[in-house]
Amino acid sequence: MKKLFIAVFVIVFVLSIAWLSRIYLKESPKKNPVVIPVEPKLVQNYKGDISSSLKIPVEQFKTVNKLPLLVVAKKVFTDTYLNRVASFVGFSEPVKKLNDSQEGLTYFWKKDSGTLFAYTKSSKIRYGSSESIKTSDKRFSDENIKTIAGKFLVDSGLLTANNFSFDSTQYLKEDPSKKYFVKSTDKDFSLYHLNILPMSLDYEIISVTATENTNYIEITKDGGVHSFQLIVFDSVQKGPVEYPIKTYEEINSSIGSAVLIDLGGEETPFKYLPADTIKNIDLDQIDIAYLLDSPTATVLQPVYKISGTATLSGGDNVRAVLYLPAFSGH
């Protein structure tokens, strides 16, 4: 009788454990591990050691917990589309075409006052005026300059209305020593600079060869268009999964793996710079951007665009920009 009682007790105990385990498993959702996407194609071409430190207080760091990938579809350029744009910006000459080893079939127009290029492989189109910028006492409000830029982009056929937006207006002035434009203030400038964002996106899109937005328009003080560059997207969609991105502490601990992208506008390839060119970089700005890491990329992921003042071996101080993949490994 005692053995029978023990046997019954064991059976009841085992069944109870099985029943409780089933309830627990049923009520506890399975947590699938988060698979972080492969890191973007970033190559460190500078051969020296980069001694850098974050000078941004943690309390000033704008916290973002998670971000998705971006899935983009680029516009297929047609003769009708390109001829409309060319005509709108004043080109009456016949288009010239060439096959570029990197950009594929390239359309270009040229006249004394400027050039227009369209690259079919990357869906990039860019225009630049070669005319000198006239001085003017006119001043446009932020709202008015965005209205002028938006009207041009829509009327020219470059973009569709209500499918893009602008971030805050920037101001540029000519730097005679460097023969290009540098950032300035609204008190002393030659051009208004507007970065163009897809309507569904809060962050700029940048490339591995330029630290600035890939899509922008620049307008003179009298309201004329001086230049623009666009990678034209038919669609920009956020991916279905949001991934954790690096915290301030993770950025600080991995800053040594950030890739140098720009050093004071240095034109010499970084791999040819002496290894002791950079003494130190004090990093004082962190921005999030989506990286177009190749001309044909269709999936973009976020990076931290980290910038600061670099002290060079000769004693000069210049602005440096580094990229760091934003997705966390945790």
Distance of CA 133 to the CA centre of its chain: 28
In the chain, domain spans = 1-31, 52-70+238-325, 76-122+124-231
Q: What are phi and psi of 27, to 5 degrees?
A: -85, -15
Look at residue 60 in the predicted model and tell me its pLDDT. 82
Over residues 118-134, the pLDDT tens digits come to 999 999 999 999 888 87
Please give the residue that has the higher pLDDT: either 188 or 265: 188
Please give the residue that has the higher pLDDT: either 32 or 233: 233
Alpha helix stretches (DSSP H) within the chain: 2-27, 79-88, 142-155, 248-254
pLDDT over 50 (residue 61): yes
Residue-by-residue DSSP string for 57-106: -GGGS----EEEEEEEEE----HHHHHHHHHHTT--SPPEEEEETTTEEE
Percent of residues, the chain, with pLDDT higher than 70: 86
pLDDT over 50 (residue 112): yes
Q: What are phi and psi of 48, to 5 degrees?
A: -85, 170
Q: Say if CB 197 and CB 114 are below 8 A apart.
A: no
Under the banding of pLDDT at 50, 70 and 90, the label for residue 24 is: very low
Which one, of 85, 219, 200, lies nearest residue 149 by Cα?
219
Q: Say if CB 125 and CB 227 are below 8 A apart.
A: no
Look at residue 188 in the predicted model and tell me its pLDDT. 84
Q: What sign does the CA torsion over 52, 53, 55, 56 have? A: positive
Look at residue 13 in the predicted model and tell me its pLDDT. 41
Which one, of 228, 154, 152, 242, lies nearest residue 193 by Cα?
228
Q: Say if CB 328 and CB 253 are below 8 A apart.
A: no
Look at residue 217 in the predicted model and tell me its pLDDT. 96
Over residues 247-298, the pLDDT tens digits come to 999 999 999 899 999 888 776 788 888 888 999 999 999 999 999 988 888 9
Under the banding of pLDDT at 50, 70 and 90, the label for residue 178 is: low
pLDDT over 90 (residue 12): no
CA distances from 134 to 121, 137, 163, 222 (A): 35, 10, 32, 8
